[in-house]
Structure 1
Amino acid sequence: MEYRTDGLDGRSALVTGAAGGIGRAVCAALARAGAQVVAADLDAAAAQGAVAALPGASAIGVDLADPDGAAAAAGRARDAAGGAVDVLVHGAGVSTVGPFARGDPADWDLMWRVNARAPMLLTRDLLPGMAGRGFGRVVFVSSDGARAGAGGEAAYSATKAALLGLAKSLAREYARQGVTCNTVCPGPTDTPMLRRVAEEHPGMVEALARRIPVGRLGEAADIAAAVAFLADPAASYITGQTLSVSGGVTMH
């Protein structure tokens, strides 16, 4: 089911992790809502491919593990969007799967830099402009693992959990300035990333689907619809919230 509205006509949106399955769907959903989309990804060519068919969209390459790269992305996004970014969607993320006791701190550091620090840096750079214009939407794409835990993904879940506290705190700081900050937590979702992990764990997809009350894995469009709704002006009374899009796996 696609979310359709024209509520973002005349607005611009920056989406990180735009070349991934969920990122592509978010770009398309925001474009359908009328936004001029700037797609950001480590793979600039893939980001360009993700938005090639979207009117007025552009793509930039960005290494979010590098603090200078994250800072530069904000400036490049403003340039591509004609000077202002109204909607910021943090979709980028990296993960490793395995027992925590055998985890590599180098992997933890990469996840911290991309999953938590980069959203903080980008948001810090773009929030003042949103507040000054009296309109802004910040949507963090976290994970249901951040709410309920995920075996084999302790460090990933920890870095994604940081986004929940960040969103709530920013929501309190900026609510009077027309800026909302919310978090979407995908549950098991059929993406290329999941399929790559599933290749190493036969039967994983089927086992996941059996646990989901609605009886299927999520699709990227399910997540994108939630993000697009929270980005819409109609969602102006929703801020500081954490929304699980998990088919009922997580109920709070």
Structure 2
Amino acid sequence: MSSQGVALVTGAAQGIGRAIALRLAEDGFDVAVNDIASNSENLDTLVDEIQKKGRTSSKCIADVSQEEAVKDMVEQVVKDHGGLDVMVANAGIVGKNLSFVKVSGEEWDRVMNVNSKGTFLCYKYAGIQMIKQGRAGGRILGASSLAGKQGIGTQAAYCASKFAVRGLTQAAALEFGPHGITVNAYAPGAIDTPMIASEPGMRDAIINEFTQRSPLKHIGVAGDIASLVSFLAKKESQFITGQTISINGGVFFD
């Protein structure tokens, strides 16, 4: 079975990233998957699942907030798979639920380093590789959020990091567009993944709130995001670039 190309998905060990990796494999891509060392075993399981779908796969242990690690990761994917056609900069962390005035500089840096700097580095080194290899139709995708379109008072650092992804996406789209590379981001609302329960006691409250706010009266699942990414990775999405697409069950309308 011929390959649609090579994709790299960061933050792929669980949740949205895992669903994206599996969907891209189903779409015919060979898929390299990334996460940090503590999630290595989950990546091994994911690589096995992708290979059972008839696609080649490899794992890349790297902290996306570290420039040399991202550079080396992209180089390793190219060495293992022969190129890079789709970069999904999905890795991210949630900020602590704190009053604006209680957010420390350390907390600010922790969230911004992964969510915004990490996305910047993935865009940068994917763009360098895609331009160098000269294939038509490269796709670069990043993870923004509902919180990247509307502020949340107890998530100042997280909101700032996800608003930053929108700006990075637009800037990269302008620079990479002449090379046939599109750059877009997805902005999920409440999605039923392990991340939604990152703070004890918050899961039920978040599900109830966003169920009530959605006209569809339910929250999303990881497969909903994977379906959007699937389309944006395809050649049929060639006239969409610089966009951050809301996928939030109608919690608000852009």
For 1:123 and 1:53, the matched residues in 2 are separated by: 27
> TM-score by structure 2 length?
0.90
Amino acid at match of 2:174: R
Is the 1:39–1:48 contact (alpha carbons within 8 Å) kept by the matching residues of 2? no
The equivalent residue for 1:45 is 41
How far off is 1:200 after superposition? 4.4
Q: 1:215 aligns with which of 214, 217, 223?
A: 217
How far off is 1:73 after superposition? 1.6
For 1:124 and 1:232, the matched residues in 2 are separated by: 21
The equivalent residue for 2:11 is 17
Superposed CA offset, 1:185-216 (max 9, x none):
00011111102336346533222211111110
How far off is 1:17 after superposition? 0.5
CA change 1:45–1:175 in 2 (3 A) is same
How far off is 1:44 after superposition? 2.3
1:164 partnered with 2:166 = yes
Is the 1:28–1:51 contact (alpha carbons within 8 Å) kept by the matching residues of 2? no
The equivalent residue for 1:103 is 103
CA change 1:52–1:176 in 2 (3 A) is same
For 1:194 and 1:211, the matched residues in 2 are separated by: 16
How far off is 1:15 after superposition? 0.3
Q: CA RMSD in A?
A: 1.8
Give ranges in structure 1 of 5+ residues lacking alignment: 1-5
Is the 2:123–2:172 contact (alpha carbons within 8 Å) kept by the matching residues of 1? no
Superposed CA offset, 1:71-119 (max 9, x none):
222222222322x110000110012222121112112111111111122
How far off is 1:157 after superposition? 1.0
Which stretch of the first structure deviates more once superposed, 50-59 or 236-245? 50-59
The equivalent residue for 2:154 is 152
Identity of aligned residues (%): 33
Q: 1:135 aligns with which of 131, 134, 137?
A: 137
Is the 2:126–2:140 contact (alpha carbons within 8 Å) kept by the matching residues of 1? no
For 2:182 and 2:69, the matched residues in 1 are separated by: 25
CA change 1:215–1:71 in 2 (3 A) is same
Structure 2 counterparts to residues 181-200 of structure 1, below 5 A? 181-197=183-199, 199-200=201-202
CA change 1:203–1:128 in 2 (3 A) is closer
Is the 1:143–1:160 contact (alpha carbons within 8 Å) kept by the matching residues of 2? yes
The equivalent residue for 2:246 is 244
Give ranges in structure 2 of 5+ residues lacking alignment: none
Superposed CA offset, 1:49-76 (max 9, x none):
2232112122111112323222222222
Amino acid at match of 2:85: D
